[in-house]
Amino acid sequence: MMKRFLSIALSFVMAFGSAAGVQAEGEDNTKFDAFQTELFVEFMESDYLTMHYTVMDYEKYGIKKPELTAGKSDWQSFEDEAKRLENCLDRLHKFDPNTLSERQKAEYDSIEHYLESMIGLNSMPGVSSYFEPGNGLHDNLLTNFTEFIFYGKEDIDDYLTVLESVPQFMEDAVEVTKRQAAAGYFMTDEALDETLKAIREFTAKKNDNELIIIFEESLAAMDDLTEAERAEYSRRNREIVLNSYIPSYEKTADELEKLRGSRNFEGGMCNYKEGGSTYYKWLVQLKTSSRDSIESQLDLCTSILNDLIDEYITLVMTNPNAENAYDSETVSCKTPDEILSYLSTHLEDYPPAADVTYKYSYLDPSVTNDSVVAYYVVPPVDDYRHNVVRINGDNVSDENDLYETLAHEGFPGHLYQNTWYLDQNPNPMSSAISQIGYSEGWAMYSEMVAWDISGLSEGARELHKIYVALSYIEDAAVDLGVNGLGWTVDDLSDWLNSLGLNAASAEELYDFVIEYPGMLLPYGVGMARFMTMRQIAEEELGAKFNLKEFHEAMLRNGSRPFEDVQNDLKDYLGKDNGQLFEGEGPMNMPTPPQAEKPEFSEPIVPFNIGRDIEPYLLWCTAGFGALAVVMLILRGRLNRKDPLA
């Protein structure tokens, strides 16, 4: 059953097995492994699209095909799902973590963290949102259908049946949205404009619609179809798209327009009186892969921003040519083929990559929007050696943009991390739990460190790293302050000024995080955590620090809550010096001290990071089977070189 899309993962019906017996600590508990396998099967059986994108051969896992619908989105289903998930959590808690191995403890923690977050979010349907710009139901459905893989005729029939269910799915989602709007919870007018624009760009194409073109291309590639079968399937699909699917989007746009102005509160999400603050806290827990408080995560971001600003000051003072080098130097690789090949063969500082293949292609603008730069299609767990990256060429301005994008989506980012972990043969349930703070944090960290092997001069490399980190971490911190703590524009201006950042950008940043609440948390906070852990490891180990070993420690147990990543870091450090971290701050690890800075009449960093440096907004489609990891540029934010339309 579908509850939230993209940033909030699927809710699903789970019936857990019996509790574990007594087991010596450190050994694998076979009952827990069996429990996870059973859970995975039940997860897959709860939603067809989730199953299709997660496994290629569902019968091999003993999975029964779910109902062929796009999902459910009625109000009552939220309450039902919360109750079911509470039951799941109760059954999980029958296992004593002390009976589990270290690997299983990490898996237990990941399931528990996910279920807690989803129970909290599903308990508050009045503050959910189906049609947010860039990551809403309307966008996610298109991505799922345009990336749908046909393994045989059965999949074609299933696809068409699910496609036919979309109008009811959309109608139910609109009814939920109307009820929310009647209580005063709705998008800002600016966000609504973005959503409506995306819908209308898609519906403008009729006979040349991508849902028709891509479907017919897929049919042409299938050898086991007769010409008569191809013609009939093509006819059925065209009829559904033109007479059902597109009209349902058009109707949705009309209904959403009627709700314009329904929002009855100002400022961040926490200002909504009907549970906004509580909902945002659960959202933060899910999106940052951590139970740390909003205040603690803001402190972490602020600390890293202080460090980055200090690095920036030192760099421009010692290397006056750095800014010019940043503007003028480009990587030698020019095409996606060249960049992916280069990055995939320069992984000396990482554990050996899985033996995989990959391909890329460019998106048709009608099935994306002004925001999309690229995305990685997460492969099935039993077919992870074949990988796909999609690129929106209109939103990639130069070779450096493309290099950074493919480092994030490809190597050593999502494609590498995902396939490396699947190559370790984990329990499939581990890959079905969304820990977006970890996965996006790793990809952002990978994007940043990829500049070390870019071939650019030191000044250009370091500025690229500083700028990408400053942009995302600044936006994540602003999100926490505005949506979590209720900052006003003046509060935000004071905070920016205290750091030496451009306080004149406060209103723009404020409007941005209100329009896209929580969107950048996984990327900014996740990146800050990986940066902090590397800093701690380098300081503790000194000359003994080995980057490849550090990366292996970060990757070893897959996507997981940061509290468990902390434990892996402690184990890694203990191998060399026998010391484990204790202390205060995020993840119970010492936070680097924040430098005291006076208020400045001019910003130290002489530009608005969020405006002048191209801010890639990224999101992970945890809903619909964790289909894709997508890189976006938000419409209205300006590229350093070329304004976006």
**pLDDT for residue 601 is more than 50:** no
Q: Residue 35 — φ and ψ, nearest 5°?
A: -60, -45
pLDDT exceeds cutoff 80 at 643: no
pLDDT tens for 6-54 read 222 222 222 223 333 344 445 678 999 999 999 899 889 989 999 999 9
pLDDT at 358 over 90: yes
Instruction: Using the predicted structure, report yes or no on whether residue 98 has a pLDDT greater than 50.
Output: yes
Higher-pLDDT residue of 324 and 641 is 324
Tell me the pTM: 0.88
Predicted pLDDT at 161: 98
Over residues 493-507, the mean pLDDT reads 94
Mean pLDDT score, 121-148? 92
Q: Environment class of residue 397 by beta-carbon count within 10 Å: exposed (0-12), middle (13-18) or buried (19+)?
A: middle
End-to-end CA distance of the chain: 37
Residue 309 has pLDDT above 90, yes or no: yes
- pLDDT higher at 155 or 593: 155
614 pLDDT band (50/70/90 cuts)? Answer: very low
Residue 77: its pLDDT value, please? 87
For the chain, what's the residue count?
Answer: 645
Residue in this structure with the two tokens 């060249």, named with its chain if needed:
338
Cα dihedral sign, 466-470-472-476: positive
Which residue, 114, 134, 113, is CA-closest to 5? 134
Q: How many CB atoms lie within 10 A of CB 436?
A: 27
374 pLDDT above the threshold of 90: no
Quick one: pLDDT at residue 371? 63
The model's pLDDT over 255-292, given as tens digits with 9 standing for 90+, comes to 999 999 999 999 999 999 999 999 999 999 999 999 99
Give CA–CA dist 212/233, Å, rounded: 11
What single letter denotes the amino acid at residue 209? N
Average the pLDDT over each of 251-255, 310-314, 491-495, 597-601 and give the range with the smallest value.
597-601
Q: Which residues of 50-78 are buried (b: 16+ CB within 10 A; e: fewer)?
A: bbbbbbbebeebebeebebbbbbbbeebb
Confidence of residue 635 (pLDDT cuts 50, 70, 90): very low
Could you tell me the pLDDT band of residue 369, with boundaries at 50, 70 and 90? low
Q: Which of the four pLDDT bands, split at 50, 70 and 90, describes residue 370?
A: low
pLDDT above 60: residue 469: yes
| Rounded (10°) CA dihedral 494, 500, 505, 511 | -50
What are the backbone angles phi and psi of residue 350, rounded to the nearest 5°? -135, 160
- In the chain, the percentage of residues whose pLDDT exceeds 90 is 76
Question: Which pLDDT does position 617 carry in this prediction?
Answer: 29
Taking only the tens place, the pLDDT of each residue in 156-165 is 999 999 999 9
**pLDDT > 80? residue 612:** no
Give 433's pLDDT tier (boundaries 50, 70, 90): confident
pLDDT of residue 126: 95
The DSSP string of 585-615 is SGGGSPPPPPPP----SS-SSSS-HHHHS--
Q: What is the DSSP string of 133-183?
A: TTTSHHHHHHHHHHT---SSHHHHHHHHHHHHTHHHHHHHHHHHHHHHHHT
* Mean pLDDT value across residues 521-539: 97
Q: Region 496-503: what's the mean pLDDT?
A: 93
Residue 33 token pair: 């492994």
- What value does the mean pLDDT of the chain take? 85
- pLDDT, residue 598, reads 37
- 618 or 114, which is more confident: 114
Q: Is the pLDDT of residue 575 over 60?
A: no
pLDDT at res. 16? 28
pLDDT per residue as tens digits for the range 187-201: 999 999 999 999 999
- Comparing 63-72, 363-372, 479-488, 572-581, the range with the smallest average pLDDT is 572-581
**Residue 63 has which token pair?**
């999975």
Element (H, E) at 527: helix 521-541
Q: Tell me what pLDDT residue 27 has.
A: 64
What's the Cα-to-Cα distance from 257 to each of 2, 136, 367, 456, 512, rounded to whole Å? Answer: 24, 16, 21, 48, 21
